[in-house]
Every structure is written in structure tokens, then in C-alpha cells.
Amino acid sequence: MELNLQPRAQACLVSGRPFSDGDRVASLLVRTADGALTRCDVLAECAAEFVPPGYVVCRWVQVFKFRAREENTERALKLTAENLFLTLADPATEPASENARLVQFLALMLERKRLLRPRGRSADGERNIFEHVRTKQLYEVPSGGLTPEFFAAIQEQLGALVGAPKAIPPPAAATS
């Protein structure tokens, strides 16, 4: 799964105020009515006033830092399943309850691709611990059964993220 996104905004969509180092910025991935996936960045204190222009696929809050000149912005603009997981599961990102299933699904997908390794459970047994193969960083992911209800609940998020599947035409009736 790979998508191209616009870079992080330099100013709040609600207030228009430029972001400063240390600001808490809420980022949302939104699927608009025309099917485009767009990123919306707002100051966390303005997030309640923001009306998304479509279905919110996921959201996260991080502390704003100016990009270093040597940072590879081309790579940062490619949203892969791995990048999305690393962003949503990052311990520095404030967890959002609506992302729990998506993070769990992405972890399963990345484990199957051998990009994450399972490392057991948290002390309370509520989260699975995964190690990112390249960075050796540990991530805690909500645990839960991968039941039909789980997949039905995440279907809307995944559909908004990658687009709805094309309808399969009914088979042509046989004529005698």
C-alpha cells in the first residue's frame, strides 16, 4: 500500500497561524467526497473547531519541529503502510482511540511482511509488543481478537484509505 500525500502544512488550517517549534499539531488523513486522500494539519487547541472535508481515516497529534535541511522530504511524502504504522504507533504520538484497530491491522500486515517482529505482551497483557526490524524500536499495539467483527469494523477505515473496491459485475445469464 503506497499513497502520495502533500507535505505537512506550515500553518494551522483553522487559525492560519504558522506552526512554531513545540506546538501540538493534530494531523488528519481525510478521504474527500471526490475520493482524494488529503492531509489536514491544525493546532491541537483548534481541532474542535475544525470541520473535516470528508471521512476521517485516522488522526494523530505530534509536537511540531521544523524539518532539517537534509531530511528526505520525497520519502516523507510517500505514505506506506509502514510509515503510517510508525506515525500512529510512535510513543511520542498521542494515542487516538479511533486508530486502535487500524494500528492493530497495520501491525499484522507488517508482521506478515517481516517488517515487525513480535516481542511478547506488555506487563498488563493489554498490548502486544513489536520490534521494528530496521530501527529496533519497540512499539506497543492494542491486543484483541482478529474476529469477523474486527474486520467489519475496520473495513470503512481501510476503504477510505485505499479506496473502495470496484463492484464485481453479476455473471451474465445463460441463454438457451
Q: What is the pLDDT of residue 1?
A: 53
The pLDDT, as a whole number, for residue 152 is 76
pLDDT tens digits, 44-81 = 999 999 999 998 888 888 888 876 544 554 444 456 77
What are the pLDDT digits (tens) for 158-172?
A: 766 665 544 555 665
Instruction: In whole angstroms, give the CA distance from residue 59 to residue 42.
Output: 11
pTM of the model: 0.60
What residue spans define the domains of the chain? 2-162
pLDDT tens digits along 93-152: 777 777 888 888 888 888 888 899 999 988 888 888 999 999 999 999 888 777 777 777
**Selection from 128, 161, 130, 139 nearest residue 92 by Cα:** 139
pLDDT at 92: 78
